[in-house]
Amino acid sequence: MKAVVRGAAVAAVLALALTACKDGSTAANPPAGGPGTGSPSAKSAASGAPAQQGGGSAAPTDHQSITPNFPPASVDATGMYAALPADGSLQSMSSGESVVIQGADALKGCPELTKAPCAPGIQVAGHKDMESRNPDGARIEFSLLSFADEAGATAETKALAEQKRKPGDADEHPVKPLTMDTGAEETQAFQHDNSIDVVMRVGSVVAYVMASDTSPENVKYAAKLQIARVQAVAAGINPDRG
């Protein structure tokens, strides 16, 4: 069975970030005053959340479109911190630390996060995990991969989706494709036993949401939240400014 909780992989990526901070090389620093890809002067146009889920100001409801007329999405290292879901974005879940790495460290960390080969041209990688405060054991992990261009992101989306649509070598359980409208330019989702993988692309950014022990509707909401935040940051909007 595919394992969604990958503490060792996340620890390895965090170690890369901490090592880079010590030698002054490629680890990104948290933003001092905004998402980093533009002026956060406008309100996010994607807001609202399902009643059972709660959520942050950047999350759309099913009846709202993702903010129209955004330029092709691209997120730098500083903007990556803002693009990852904020603490409290999912009210029933507690958040782990946001990890952002870039350059050579992103190229090394990408396969650890995705368990798939990483396409050339990756510039920044980010990760955040959340787990339920309730005894249901639900867990959702968010990974963002920002590439130099859309071609690199498209190649990564294809490779990652192909990897997630297949069961493990010793696993005979089928993988069920799911249909999800996330607001991304490309979305492929798969359910396998109690885990769900959602692979999305918007502009030159690949968003990968991994979840366990929760419903497809909750995962869909989390995926839409992630895409809305990427689009907001790419347009210079602070997704947490209500």
pLDDT tier, 19 (very low <50, low <70, confident <90, very high otherwise): very low
pLDDT tier, 235 (very low <50, low <70, confident <90, very high otherwise): very high
pLDDT tens, 59-114? 455 444 444 555 578 999 999 999 999 988 888 888 788 999 999 999 999 999 88
pTM, two decimal places: 0.74
Instruction: Decide if pLDDT at 173 tops 90.
Output: no
pLDDT at 52: 40
pLDDT tier, 177 (very low <50, low <70, confident <90, very high otherwise): very high
pLDDT at 68: 53
pLDDT tier, 242 (very low <50, low <70, confident <90, very high otherwise): low
Instruction: Decide if pLDDT at 178 tops 80.
Output: yes
Query: What's the whole-number mean pLDDT along residues 15-38?
Result: 46
- Encode 127-158: b = buried (16+ Cβ within 10 Å), e = exposed: bbbbbbeeeeebbbbbbbbbbeebebbbbbbe
Percent with pLDDT over 90 in the chain: 54
Instruction: Decide if pLDDT at 152 tops 60.
Output: yes
Mean pLDDT of the chain: 78
Instruction: Determine the Cα–Cα distance for residues 220 and 209; give it in Å rounded to an integer.
Output: 9
